[in-house]
Amino acid sequence: MAELKLSSKDPDSLRKIIQSALLERLHSVEAGIKRTEERLQAFENKYKLSTEEFITRFNNDELLHNFDFDEWIGESRMLAHLRETREAIEEVKFVN
């Protein structure tokens, strides 16, 4: 795990600022995850396929192209990105 060192005249204030920014970003990412999951659910309901099944069938050229599919794939990629971002934020630990 990488370690980042910062220096400040007031380290406690800096720590609070960074913790607050990380918490705010985490809340934003979690809201994005919720919205993205809702969009994926709408596609799954509309096409009666799970996202995983859709991507497999789409990659195997089993489905005719549809502009919804572009958005569905984009939402799926966005969800993966947001989850990775959440994990990265949650892994941040402050050391003395």
Query: CA 35 to CA 31: how far, in whole Å?
Result: 6
Q: Does residue 1 sit within a domain? A: no
Query: CA 23 to CA 31: how far, in whole Å?
Result: 12
Q: Does residue 95 sit within a domain? A: no
* Residue 61 lies in domain: 12-90
What is the number of structural domains in the chain? 1
Q: pTM of the predicted model, to two decimals?
A: 0.88
- Return averaged pLDDT per consecutive 10 residues of the chain, 96 residues in all: 88 94 98 98 98 97 94 98 98 88
Q: Does residue 4 sit within a domain? A: no
Q: Does residue 56 sit within a domain? A: yes
Q: Does residue 77 sit within a domain? A: yes
Q: Does residue 7 sit within a domain? A: no
Q: Does residue 27 sit within a domain? A: yes
Residues 43 and 68: beta-carbon distance below 8 Å: yes
